[in-house]
Structure 1
Amino acid sequence: MEKMRIAIAGISEMRWRGNGTTTTSSGNLVMHSGTKDGGRSGVGIYVSKQYKQALISWSPVSDRIIIARFRCKARHITIVQCYAPTEDASDDIKDDFYNALTSSLTRIERGYIKILMGDFNAKIGPKNNGLETIMGRHGVGTRSNNGDRLIDLCQTFQLVIGGIAFPHKEIHKYTWTSPNGHTRNQIDHICISRKWRRSLMDVRNRRSDHELIIGELLIKLRRNSNTVNRTTRRPPPINIQRLSESNLSTRMATTLREEMTTQPLNHSWEQTCSILRSTAEEMLGTRQRRRTDWTSAHTWELISKRNSLKSKADHDCRARDEHKELCKMVKKSARNDKRKLLDKLAENAESAANTNNMRSLYQIISQLTGSCHRRTQPVRDTEGRLLTGDEAQLQRWRQHFMEISCTEQPSSTQDNFRSIVPSHNLRVSPTAPSIREIKDAIRKLKRNKAAGDDGIPAELLQINTQLMAETLHPHFNNIWERKNRANNTR
């Protein structure tokens, strides 16, 4: 499995005792379902170590059926691996198997992508008259009784038999060869929900004594997230570009002063943020993130034509050829549209560079290059040697903070971060900042910077620096008073 880079595999005639999971030495996962004494039956599902995190749950139904559920970005996937009775088995045994299989498929939640695969011991054949929606014309052999049962099951649950839908040489269609090498049959199949037929890219065998049938599925799996989802989202950015409009900033400052005077003297910082945010949203509005629609009308017309032929392409050869040609034309037209967009952005970047508009230039460069993650810089000691251990890096950070705080290092090393913070800092004034100092600090704030978690940008505070300084002064006093009380209690 690792050599052929198989992500998920179904195994028939596994012959393992009982039910359970096994992790291989290389980290791959094997789930199995069998009888107590083993026997010739038994089924299992192999999952590579790269996709173990996508597994939601699994359940053994019997020694012939096992079910596994996987998390996927599009829809969750339910894989049913089975091992059907042979053609020589009695009708009662076949009925029991297909009744259990029908019950298992019925319990799958609506909206899941169903993948039914395994050794069905069923010959389908190439004839698909009246069955074009569930099978193609590329089968091998003559349809058997098990084949009729499988077709009825696929019709009931809207499944498509994948191995018969793709044209291949016959040597790539056979899934079982007799020991004498004279008899070959196509009895192993992979079926998928008809709605997701286009996600199944190919199905063919890999030649061995009992042919391995492989299907290529173009669906991205997603890992199970153990983190708790955030209940609150960052508010949308305020449209601060409107502050350049005449008289708008003056009217907004007047409104803010009226709102602030109605609040009590000891109101909290959350109330102040709420007033600033609500007033700004009411008068300036928010800035909605919009995606650039670079696809031309000609491309959209080709896409609509291609989509109209999608349903006919499964059972009409002419429609299939026309659909393939339209797919090529859509890709070519989309590439041309994308190239025109890049050329336009390059011209805008050149124009911004010539006019010394660095902000627009860097925005265009960021749009062209995409998001870039900042790399973590290594920690080095005072002599430039690289520190690899956690304790050595922590000691170096402790030494750095002591140097910038102009205090002596403590003699004992403690894991608590509070031990590296000095009890008295000469750079911090013991008294709270005045209104004038707060006003000067607001004026020095840089513009065009992202707002914090409160969603208050610097431009909003700079509308009226005197008003904002008077508003923030009580909050700074409360901070200094709480800090002094905490120092006195130590």
Structure 2
Amino acid sequence: MKDHNIKIISLNIRSLNDKLTILRKVMKDQHYDILLLQETHLKVTEVRNLLDYTLYCSSNAEHVWAGVAIMIHNKSIRFVCFNPISSRICCLTLNLGYKRVHLFNIYAPHNDSGFYMELENVLKELPHRDGIILAGNFNASVGKSKNSSCLRNATLIQSTNPNGKRLIEICELFNMKIGNTFFNHPTHHIMTYKSPSFGITSQIDFFVISTKIFKWVRDIGVISKLNLTLFTDHYPLSCELKINNSIFPNHTRQNSLTTVKYIVRKDLAQLNDLEVKESSSLIKHHGGIQHHRRYITHRIRADKRLFIANLSNSIQFNFDNNNIYKAFQSLKLLTTFKTNPLPRLQLNNNKIITDPKEQLDLWIDHYMNLCRTRWPIPRCDYPFQSPSQNLNKSDIVGAIKGLKMHKAAGADGIFAELWKIEVDLSVSLLLPLFREIWNTGRFPDEWMPSIILNFPKNKSPNCLKDYRGIALIPVTLKMFTYII
């Protein structure tokens, strides 16, 4: 099976105005997948659609002279989310091979001024199992050193400046390597900057890659043949990754969003049958049909989690940029709930019921009789007494943290992930409601209905007794019962 090659290019653009057309043409002609741009001089954080490419910008009006941006190819990259951290740092989370990789675009100042401390705090929040790539203009000079394992001698710089020392400290702290120093090239393929006034060359742009994914790197070097030096004093720095996809079937290396949309609309059993038929040639390689189906099930769950995380980040990003319409569209997609159609029923007189309305009436009578006979509700004549202790924020925070992820929603369509996105905002919304219920003893009418899903007890269900009903109650009601 063919490996997946990804080409990344980094360039200090010195203002992005009126240069997007040239950059997009260069990426298309040279078959580059990701373009990292520093010093864009843009005023706002935005997203631009450029035909087959998408440009993600991170900047603000206070630091117009800075700004970073990332341009990606829509079809060749499995994009998860974009995080505009500041006007000097932005992060693009990708799925590369069997790992999630965080690609950071860096534009460091000449003096430290707390920049590397901010970068260190951002890296500490990432999961330790994920891969990290830092790329861009670090304004750091890294000299030859035999004591550090994060660099080699493929550099022409003799001394290390303060920014270079801070960069080496971050590499040693997070087990990363300065990739430029591991590949020997001629001088014109090593130096990334040339002073327009004095003609002095230097190496201040780097690709810093974590050790766990450094085996993917095939080459890092300056590409002098690209006609990009006409409007900047920096040379484009290229990194080529070669990812081994031999352990993944072809159908799993598609866009994550398309995969999950298909999974949501189709039944799991149908999907398993479809995948086994389409990939029959891979069954023996993965150890039989049972192992293959188990692998598909795990992959579905992983893609669903990525899809939910992508939607959550999209909602927050659109709200921060006052794009209310797109935010609510994503919120509606996140809270959409669809039920399976009613199965065919056969009565005692062998009459088959296929009309949905008649089936619904039968199910209602069945569950009403079931509740009356097995769980009769006792009548309570005692007056309600308001509790002496009132609810606190800590009670609601504990209830939110106690919710299980990736569970079905109730009739309101609100998932547990929605309350866990921003805990402080959720507490401020739920505290007045819970206190009103706590003091009055009256539940909202919206909490009363529940969705009942019918699961067959045997392989060929026909009558009502062959199904087991499971009621889905609202997640908000679960939290309140957890507090009680």
TM-score by length of 2: 0.45
Identify the structure with bigger relative contact order (alpha carbons < 8 Å, sequence gap 6+): 2
TM-score computed with the length of structure 1 as normaliser = 0.45
- Structure with the greater alpha carbon radius of gyration: 1
